[in-house]
Amino acid sequence: MDIQRELFALRDQTYAVFQSKLTPTVAEELFIGVRVPEARRLARAISGHPASLIFMKELPHRYYDENMLHGLLISEMKEYGACVEAVDAFLPFVDNWAVCDIMSPRVFRNNRPDLLAKIREWSASKHTYTSRFGLGMLMSHFLDEDFCPAYLDIPASIPSDEYYVKMMIAWFFATALAKQWEAAVPYLVENRLTAWVHNKTIQKARESRRITAERKAYLNKLKRPML
């Protein structure tokens, strides 16, 4: 099986142009143009196939769509230890938000105690998309039944100036406001976040359908001046 050929067989050049505009950190010529539902179907079809195992070791990939497929293949993995190893091997080669955010391994759901230590490690990384991935996993797995208020200190303590990390921190806190209001709102009231992240959190929270109009009005009063 030639996986690159499989991807090119699914090519949509109009979509390639569209996707390149959403992902400015990747050169336009590196987009094949595979729509995400098609990439997901391919990942499910070839997951565990010897060709997919070889493909996942052939880093770095050339095309954006190969990286998307790699992230989707990781998401299909069923053994926690092997999945974490695959994530650690792949993250240094992730160079855009879309590939970073496509990775959502289902096996993580049943391994939260071990996952938290890895999240702390990933989140603290100086590599933009490793840090973003760790924060995304914290948001996905630790704002519901396994929530602890101390977990909010993980994103709040990251001193990054990287746009895609700051955006994820804001997204995290906007989600925390929707799910864990009482624990999250003090981070805004007490100005525990940088001004940019603080205001972006409020913007995202006010766009959310999960937060009441009354709370949105309150958040609007907490906006800070940008120096």
Residue 17 has a pLDDT of 96
Residues 129 and 211 in one domain: yes
Residues 124 and 91 in one domain: no
Among 205, 207, 208, residue whose Cα is nearest residue 219:
205
Among 28, 50, 52, residue whose Cα is nearest residue 39:
52
pLDDT, the chain, mean: 96
pLDDT surpassing 90 at residue 227:
no
Residues 13 and 104 in one domain: yes
Residues 164 and 226 in one domain: yes
Question: What percent of the chain clears pLDDT 90, i.e. is strictly above it?
Answer: 95
Among 91, 80, 101, residue whose Cα is nearest residue 56:
91
Calpha distance 219→227 (Å, rounded): 20
Confidence band, pLDDT 50/70/90 cuts, at residue 145? confident
Residues 23 and 104 in one domain: yes
Residues 35 and 9 in one domain: yes
Calpha distance 72→94 (Å, rounded): 13
From 63, 89, 110, give the residue that closes a domain: 110
Reduced to 3 DSSP states, what percent helix, strand and coil does the chain have, rounded to the nearest 5?
70, 0, 30
Domain that holds residue 57: 1-110
pLDDT surpassing 80 at residue 226:
no
pLDDT surpassing 70 at residue 192:
yes
Residues 81 and 155 in one domain: no
Residues 186 and 86 in one domain: no
Total number of domains constituting the chain: 2
Calpha distance 32→12 (Å, rounded): 7
End-to-end CA distance of the chain: 56
From 63, 81, 110, give the residue that closes a domain: 110
Question: What percent of the chain clears pLDDT 70, i.e. is strictly above it?
Answer: 100
Residues 16 and 93 in one domain: yes
Residues 203 and 178 in one domain: yes
Residues 105 and 125 in one domain: no
From 70, 93, 110, give the residue that closes a domain: 110
Residues 184 and 104 in one domain: no
pTM of the prediction?
A: 0.94
